[in-house]
Structures are given as C-alpha cells and as structure tokens.
Chains A and B, each alone.
Chain A
Amino acid sequence: MTEPVLQTRGLWCAFGALQASKDITLDLRAGEIHALIGPNGAGKSTLIKQIAGSLRPDAGQVLLAGEDVTALSTAARARRGLGRTFQISELAMDDTVLQNALLGALGAQGRPFRFWQSALGRDDLRSKAELALARVGLADKARMRTSELSHGQRRQLEVAVALTLHPKAFVMDEPMAGLGTTGSKTMTSFLDGLRAQAPILLVEHDMDAVFALADRISVLVYGEIIATGSVAEIRSDKAVRAAYLGEEA
C-alpha cells in the first residue's frame, strides 16, 4: 500500500482536565474522501486545529506526505501542501473575490515581498486565480466585493482559495454548513470530483453528504475514534449507532 498523504499518530490534547483528543491515529490516502463525524463537543475542531497547525498536541505526530510537520507553523504546513477551508468563512471581506483568490496564488508562489509591481497585473498569479474561480463557478463574480457574496458563494470562494494552493491534501471543516439543500448538492458533486486531484479530510454534519461522498468514515466521540470504516460498516456498527446515529435514527 502506498504511504498515506496525511497521517496523525497518537495525538493527545487536553484543555485542563478535559481530554479533547485521546490517542488519535488516522490517515488520509490518495484519492479518497475520509469523513470525520461525531456529535458536538466530540473534539473534531480540536483535531482539525492540530492537523492544520494552530494548536500543538501534547503528544503525538502529524505527518504530511511522510514528513513530520508537528513542530511547523500553520503557514509552513500550508506551504508544504495542506489546503484548509473553515467552518466560518475566513476571507478578506473588504477585498474583491479575485483579490482573495490572488492571495492564494501569491501564497502558493511563496514570494509576497514584492512592493513595486501591481498584484492585479501579475498575469501568472491572475491566471491561476481566475482558473480556480472558474472551477468553483465564481468567474463572473471576480470583481465583486467579497462581503457582497452570499453565504454559499463565500463557501465556494474558500474552496477556490484552497485550490490555488494546489495542495497535496484538503482539510475541510463543514463545507456544507448553512448551504441549504440545493447548495449542498452542488458542493457535494464538486467535492466528489475534487478527490481525484487531492484527498479530502472532511468534517461534516450533513449526513446525506457524508454518506454520498465518503470512501471511509471515522467516528469521534468524547475525543476518541470509536470506529473507522466504509459507509456500510459505519452504518451497521453497534457502538456508532448507540453513541451517535442512534440519536437521529
């Protein structure tokens, strides 16, 4: 088997007496969508933060393409190929849609200390940014101010910015949140196609989307992964039904 693109090994993280991550080991393989589900407060966001670099684990490792990135900053991990989207959109709201995508292209290229040239005049960055916008269907909104976008369009822009990075792996925190039925369907089919480019670690509450997309699912409850498996395995897992799906079924 080939090496996983993204891996965690025995991550532990506590806030005071609360153990938010207990010995979490999971991997993301090339070409797959690996969904991470769990009830509120299970520690999903804590885990994502440790993977992305904004939170240091107390113990354990994070590996990206085989390299130990546990000690690296968020920015350094991004440069090594980790593309992240947020549950609540993190965008430069006063800037245009195109400028946000340009920022991604600029980060990917890695030389932001250019004081004299025009950012919009940089054809190499601009074509990358426009391509990413076109892929998520925002090409005609490029000149709009980001704060004028609808909620769903902001989610699309988040994905577009991640695309400009050409990441090795995507980490997406609830990309469907607040999208509505139609929006969710559009995003689901988009993510479906995206896995061929880079695998996705998907944190999501929308079970329809998870069951439609996931190659594998990991279930996190009280900071522990209680099961990992295919959609069918997770659906029939007794512990999962008791702890989680049972509440909804």
Chain B
Amino acid sequence: MMSERVLNGVVMAGLILFPLWAWMADAPFMITLATKAAILALAGVGLNLALGIGGLVSLGHAAFFGIGGYAMGILASHAQAYDPIFTQPFVFEGTKSMPLIWLTAMIASGLAALAIGALSLRTSGVYFIMITLAFGQMHYFFSISWPAYGGEDGLSIYVRNSFPGLNTLDPIQFYAVVLGLLAIVLYCNARLAKSPFGLALGAARQSPLRVETVGISPYRLQLVAFTLSGMITGLAGALFADLNRFVSPVMFSWQTSGEIMVFIIIGGVARLFGPVVGAILFIVLEHVLGGLSDYWHIYLGALLLLIVLFARGGVIGTLTGREAAHD
C-alpha cells in the first residue's frame, strides 16, 4: 500500500514522462491520446468539485463541456471568416487567441452553471440528477437546432488557436499547455478542499442541517461550488474542441455527462487525482480494447461494475488501502 500523495506524484510523473517518450520516439498519436486524457481529466476535476466534496450528483455537466466547446467554435469561426459576432451595441469580434477563448468559455459556462444550479439546487437526490440531466438535454437539442453554428453537423475550425509564444499545432507544445492548466486547476482544487469553504461544503454534503445550525446556508455553498465546477468543465470543453478542431452537439449529449462521471467513479470519488486516473484508464481502455472490438464499452461496463461492487474507493482507494476519501 502506498500513500495517496506518492500515488499522485507517480501519476503526475507519468503525465510528464509518457508524452516526452512519445515525442522522442516520434509517435505524435500517443501525444494526442495523452492530450485527450488530460483534457477529459480536467473536465472530471471540474465535476469532482461538485460531486466529490459537495455530493452534488450532476448528470448535466455536458452542458458546461459543450458551452466551453461552442465558445471556442463560435469565437474561432468568426475570426477565421473575419466576421464579427455582433456589431450592436458594440463590435464583438471573434478571436483565435486561446487565453481569450478560455476566459470566454469559463465566463459563459460559469453563468450557465449559476443559472442551472440556482434552479436545480432547490431539489436534491434523484430529482437533482434528473433536473441537471434535463438541462443538459436542453442544451443538446438547442445546439442541434441552431443552424447558424452548424446544427447537427457541428463546426470545423481549420487551424488550431494560438497561444502566445508557442506553436500549438505541434502536439507536444499543445500538450504542455493542457498539462499546465490541469496542474494549476489541481493545485487550486487541493487548496480549496482544505479551505474553510471546502470544510463547509463537505459538511453540507454530510449534514446540511448541521451547516444551517451553525449559521451557514448550504444552498449558497453548493451554488458557488456548482458554478466553479461548471467553469472548470467549460474550460476543458474549450480545450477539447481545440484538440479536435471541431465542435458538435455530441459534446452536449448525456453520454458525455455520464463519461465524465465514470472517470470519477473509476479513479475514486472526492480524490484529488481520481478523475485524472479515471480519464487515463478510460483512454487506455478505449485505445487497447477499442482495437480488439467495437463493443469495448462492454468491458468498460464490467470494470465499472467491479469497482462499484468491490472497490468503492475506486482505483486510488484500492491502491492506497483506504476506502473513504475524506479524512
């Protein structure tokens, strides 16, 4: 058994060393796989803030992932067509700059999360799951029926967006950007988990009545957590769209919400690196098993079943020998 801290270090080292190896071995596809894993991990880290610490089982995080993706798609498509998004009351131009796109993606998904959370958090349990799912599906069907941005076909971007000082078309450089963001968000999440806010949010998961009784409104805590969570997942959505240079309604689908949740369950709920480990395993399984059979999801399902039945702490819980994430 090893400590969780050591395990996290090993995972982080792997995230640095594996793409370096792929780069030296001239295997760009492997770098792209690693990039995809890191982006999906980031989406999972976002959900884990609401789900892990806050206990908010959201089945609608695809909404934020998709909003992030479309923020990128809309800004970049207008920039490549030299066509402002709107001109009244002021001129709003598209952009190909990653930092601006990230900012827009996070603001847009954060506002959506604030609105969705404000309504959904009036419910709890299975109703919360259903209402977040419904909001996710609303976004899905809206994106399909909005012809201005490709409708069902989605939007293609010809050239990957730019980051100052880097050539983002080079896979290893784009990977470095993604890994840097993942590391920053993980660090912030680690701070948050131990902060007064994290303490109160965790207590609101376990006993909302206790939190109320000491004079703190659980609703406000959860709404802030849900909004931050949506912003992180939105950022991941913008990166995911940039990786594929393509955005489509699939990003909004409820299967996407489910997959993000699956990362967390595989890796370990409320573990800092839970979604990272989960996303890596998911990509490895997709790559290895997907090569053997088109029906690889059957094996993924079996793995999920085993984890839920026999290893509630996920992979990290099993390896560190501690079932519960909270200490």
- CA gap between A73 and B214 in the complex, in Å: 12
- CA gap between A84 and B209 in the complex, in Å: 11
B203's partner among A73, A74, A84, A92 (CB-CB below 8 A) is: A92
- Answer yes or no: A79 CB below 8 A from chain B CBs: yes
Which residues of chain B are near A120, meaning CB under 8 Å? 194
Nearest CB in chain B to that of A113: its residue = B197
Is A104's CB under 8 angstroms from B217's CB? no
Which residues of chain B are near A90, meaning CB under 8 Å? 207, 209-210, 213
B212's partner among A78, A92, A94, A165 (CB-CB below 8 A) is: A78
- CA gap between A160 and B126 in the complex, in Å: 34
Using C-beta atoms within 8 Å of the partner chain, give the interface range for chain B. Answer: 20 to 34
Using C-beta atoms within 8 Å of the partner chain, give the interface range for chain A. Answer: 35 or more
Which residues of chain A are near B206, meaning CB under 8 Å? 91-95
Contact A115:B214 (CB < 8 A) given known A90-B207, A94-B206, A95-B202: no
Is A103's CB under 8 angstroms from B215's CB? no
Is A106's CB under 8 angstroms from B196's CB? yes
Is A117's CB under 8 angstroms from B207's CB? no
- List A residues 6-37 near B (Cβ within 8 Å): none
- List A residues 125-167 near B (Cβ within 8 Å): 125, 145, 161, 164-165
Is B327's CB under 8 angstroms from A165's CB? no
- Answer yes or no: A107 CB below 8 A from chain B CBs: yes
B216's partner among A84, A107, A117 (CB-CB below 8 A) is: A107
- CA gap between A110 and B207 in the complex, in Å: 18
Is A108's CB under 8 angstroms from B215's CB? yes
- CA gap between A126 and B285 in the complex, in Å: 46
Is A92's CB under 8 angstroms from B195's CB? no
- Answer yes or no: A119 CB below 8 A from chain B CBs: yes
By a beta-carbon cutoff of 8 Å, the part of chain A in contact with chain B is: 52, 54, 73-76, 78-79, 84, 86, 90-96, 99-100, 102-104, 106-108, 110-120, 122, 125, 145, 161, 164-165
